[in-house]
């Protein structure tokens, strides 16, 4: 849509027609969809249009679904986009993302109501830090911008993390760059906080880096790692995964919410519980594999060597597990082939956002009976499920899981089985 000059861009009495996939209100102007951040369906608004976006100037008739956002930073911070939407339509929106993506690929299975994680349950956040003349900014980016919104509260994050925001800002002071930004990844473990910092300013002296690490330990962080340096540790971060205790590497991937992880794992485990042998593809550090090994022999494959090392160490130390084997493997370039897959009775895969096209093509040609697909992107999930269905699989169950609360992201667990009804 051609940009409209500012003097002609202001429009009053406009009615928002729907929520777009990013959580923005949308309406049609001259046949084209225009997105209005912060607006809800049915609202009458005054806006300033620029291209395919518009700035919300005033809500002249609010939606009955509009509520007061719980976060004081909501209007500025880009971390959340839907705190102003009431619970029932919010859950319906998350479900619609999955339903619409599947429908676009000609798939119309039953889709469960959205399971939603609790506020304050996000155990893993990555904060951006930058030094300015006025001091250090620490927080999340504003919407569609590199600007950092300085935060002092976050109702999404674990209270253990938010209580350390001022300490994190103090730690960032000697390390944050003037241009670009430093990332501070904080993970709340049952036994304490893990801190991993990257992007430290090149001008930061080694002494400043060492002092920042020591201060972090004194501030109550149990492990502190800066870049690729050997971490400073006063206690080893660990989480319980079924019978096993997992010790992730510094900066290692974990599901954002422990309760969401447990819920998704319960669905996967129930689906695959009668499989004698299971393969876990894109296994990460083993949050599915270690649980599945309580009933089945498991082979795990993952491209990150550190994650595989953590998985193997946890499996060796855990009592009562069946055999767990693992390999470092780039499943995008070198997927496990159909012949190798066919010795397994179950597959679980949890790929990154862009899905697993090559690996799914091999699964579709295999004789594996049951597949559990955990996805963080409805679009690539729908694309990959289409391939599996065309290969003879039936979709038994689809569960949207909202572990990124008040965002436009949704996780999905899809359970499939080969053969007839």
Handedness of CA 333, 334, 339, 345 (dihedral sign): negative
- The answer to whether 80 is a known catalytic residue is no
- Contact between 103 and 80 (Cβ < 8 Å): no
Ramachandran sector of residue 322 (left: φ over 0; alpha: ψ -120 to 50; beta: rest): beta
d(CA 283, CA 279): 9
- Contact between 279 and 336 (Cβ < 8 Å): yes
d(CA 336, CA 6): 55
- Contact between 59 and 65 (Cβ < 8 Å): no
Which residue out of 71, 154, 285, 376 is catalytically annotated? 376
Burial of 330 (0-12, 13-18, 19+ CB in 10 A): exposed
Number of separate helices (H) and strands (E) present in the chain: 11, 23
d(CA 114, CA 130): 37
- Contact between 142 and 175 (Cβ < 8 Å): no
d(CA 391, CA 382): 14
- Residues with active-site annotation: 376
């Amino acid at each position: 849509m051609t940009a409209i000059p500012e003097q002609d861009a202001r429009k009053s009495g406009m009615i928002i027609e729907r929520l777009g996939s990013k959580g923005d209100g949308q309406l049609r102007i001259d046949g084209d969809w225009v997105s209005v951040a912060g607006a809800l369906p049915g609202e009458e608004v005054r806006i300033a249009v620029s291209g395919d976006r518009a700035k919300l100037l005033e809500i002249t008739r609010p939606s009955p679904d509009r509520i007061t956002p719980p976060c004081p930073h909501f209007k500025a911070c880009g971390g959340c986009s839907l705190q102003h939407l009431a619970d029932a339509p919010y859950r319906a929106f998350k479900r619609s993302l999955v339903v619409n993506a599947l429908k676009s690929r000609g798939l119309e299975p039953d889709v469960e109501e959205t399971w939603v994680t609790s506020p304050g349950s996000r155990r893993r956040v990555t904060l951006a830090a930058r030094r300015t003349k006025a001091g250090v900014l620490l927080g999340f980016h504003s919407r569609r911008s590199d600007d950092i919104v300085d935060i002092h509260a976050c109702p999404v994050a674990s209270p253990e993390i938010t209580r350390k925001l001022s300490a994190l800002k103090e730690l960032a002071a000697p390390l944050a760059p003037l241009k670009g930004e430093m990332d501070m990844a904080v993970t709340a473990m049952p036994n304490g906080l893990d801190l991993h910092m990257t992007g430290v300013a090149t001008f930061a002296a080694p002494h400043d880096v060492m002092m920042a690490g020591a201060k972090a330990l004194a501030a109550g962080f149990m492990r502190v790692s800066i870049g690729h340096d050997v971490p400073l540790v006063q206690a080893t971060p660990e989480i319980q995964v079924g019978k096993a205790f997992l010790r992730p590497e510094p900066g290692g991937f974990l599901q954002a919410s422990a309760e969401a992880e447990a819920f998704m794992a319960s669905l996967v485990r129930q689906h695959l519980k009668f499989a004698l042998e299971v393969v876990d593809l894109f296994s990460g550090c083993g949050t599915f594999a270690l649980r599945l090994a309580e009933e089945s022999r498991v082979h795990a494959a993952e491209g990150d060597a550190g994650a595989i090392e953590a998985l193997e160490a946890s499996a060796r130390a855990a009592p009562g597990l069946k055999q767990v084997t693992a390999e470092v493997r780039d499943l995008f370039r070198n997927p496990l082939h159909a012949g190798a897959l066919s010795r397994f009775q179950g597959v679980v895969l949890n790929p990154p956002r862009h899905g697993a096209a090559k690996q799914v093509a091999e699964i579709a040609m295999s004789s594996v009976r049951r597949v559990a697909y955990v996805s963080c992107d409805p679009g690539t999930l729908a694309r990959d499920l289409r391939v599996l269905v065309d290969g003879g699989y039936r979709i038994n169950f689809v569960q949207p899981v909202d572990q990124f609360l008040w965002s436009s992201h949704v996780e999905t667990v899809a359970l499939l089985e080969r053969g007839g009804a």
